[in-house]
Each structure stands twice: as C-alpha cells, then as structure tokens.
Amino acid sequence: MMEKNITSVISGKKPQHDYPGKLIVLEGTDGVGRSTQAELLQNWLNVEGYGVTRSEWKSSLLMSRVIDKAKEKNALNTITFSLLYATDLADRLHNGIIPALKAGHIVIADRYFYTALARDVVRGADADWVRELYKFAPDADLVIYFTMPLEPLLRRIITTRGGLDFYESGRDIGMSTDLYQSFKLYQSQILFEYERMAKEFNFQSIAADDPVDAVQKALRKKLATVLSDKKLHSSV
C-alpha cells in the first residue's frame, strides 16, 4: 500500500483505498469530545459484531515521544511540526490503519490528515505544500466534523481540563500574549480552514454541544450511510 501511495504522489493523484474495511474519521477542534464519541462508537460496533480498530492522533510508537520532547523544548518550527506529524501518520497507516482495513475492520480515526491541513496552514505552511506532503494518506470513507462555537468550547476546556494548552492556543506562533485571546484567534482560524475543507471532502457535520447521547445517536446514523449491514441500519 505504501508503495502504491508513493506512486500516487509522483503521479499527482490522491490514492483511494479499495480494502474491505471502512475508514471513519472524527474531526473537529480541541475539546469537542471526539475521544468520548470514538470510544462509545467502538463499544457499540463491537456489540454489533464488527471488528474495530481505533487510531488516535500522534500515537505512533515511533514518533509520539519524539514529538512530545520537541514540544517540551519548544523546538517545533512550522516545517518540523508538519514533517513530524506526517511521519507519525505514515507510521500509523503502515502498521495499524492499512492492515486493519485489509482485515475488514472499521477503523475509527480520532483526527486524520484533515487536522494537519488545517493546523499547518494556520501555522504558516504553504497550503499546496501541505497537501502534497499528505498525499500518501487515502481519503476517508466518512468524515464526521464535530462543530461547536468558540465560547462554549472555551468554557468546556477550562471546566474539564482546568486550563488551556500552549499549542492548542497557538501560543507557539505568537498570536497573542494573552492565553485566552490566543486560543480564540487560533481556534477561529482552525475553524475557518475546516469550513474550507468541508465541501471538498464531504464532511458530515454534527453539533458537539448537544448532549453526549444525542451526539452519539447522530454519529451512528451517519455511519449507517456508509455500511451495507441491514442489521446495523435497523438498530440506530
């Protein structure tokens, strides 16, 4: 698969996976509840008899510690930020996502290359360069985009985490010396990039500020549209 993807990059064509499994991506800004919904969805699919594999952002055994150490030292400029995360995804595709798709699993990805297309551009990377960089990653079968206005999002993060993260607030690129203002500026630009991608990649939007069970129900209905299992359709 990786060889086929490399060929696709050279030819300028984005690869499409043709494996029996389905790649389901959950996208959205920090704090919208992707991880909670991914876990609930996995548990439900397991009960329904599906093989499920989850893949989280920056979870490569090869790269996750490298990225964490670089962040601790504030050693990530725009290009190294892009390259390290691209390497992380490439490793996860090769060792986890692609084998699972070959085995017929439903792969639930908590963030995918769409995150990078948004973050890297906001951090100053050239949009065309970032897209070329991630051409090795096949498009998802379904992209769920969790949406939430900035003010409720800010309140949720402060309530659940007790504060704002340096990088998710864009402080590393000097948007503002005020942490809260920096968060709003950074996340608003991330939202703008997501909106630009929504039509191109056919994002399916779900309001993340609804109750957890309502969000999960909407997520299951969206998933049923890409699966042919009649039993699954009747259970949502």
pLDDT tier, 15 (very low <50, low <70, confident <90, very high otherwise): low
Is residue 11 packed enough to be buried (19+ CB in 10 Å), middle (13-18) or exposed (0-12)?
exposed
Q: What predicted TM-score, i.e. pTM, was given to this entire model?
A: 0.86
98 in a domain, yes or no?
Answer: yes
97 in a domain, yes or no?
Answer: yes
10 in a domain, yes or no?
Answer: no
The string of pLDDT tens digits covering residues 133-178 is 999 999 999 999 999 998 888 888 888 877 777 777 787 787 788 8
Q: How far apart are CA 166 and CA 182, in angstroms?
A: 9
> 23 with 107: CB under 8 angstroms?
yes
66 in a domain, yes or no?
Answer: yes
| Enclosing domain of residue 65 | 20-224
220 in a domain, yes or no?
Answer: yes
216 in a domain, yes or no?
Answer: yes
1 in a domain, yes or no?
Answer: no
234 in a domain, yes or no?
Answer: no
Q: For the chain, how many structural domains are there in total?
A: 1
Q: DSSP for 136-174, please give it.
A: TSPPPSEEEEEE--HHHHHHHHHHHHSS--TTTTTGGGT
Say which CATH number the domain at 73 has. 3.40.50.300
The string of pLDDT tens digits covering residues 80-134 is 999 999 999 999 999 999 999 999 999 999 999 999 999 999 999 999 999 999 9
Sheet holding 142-147, edge to edge: 52-56, 106-110, 22-27, 142-147, 204-207
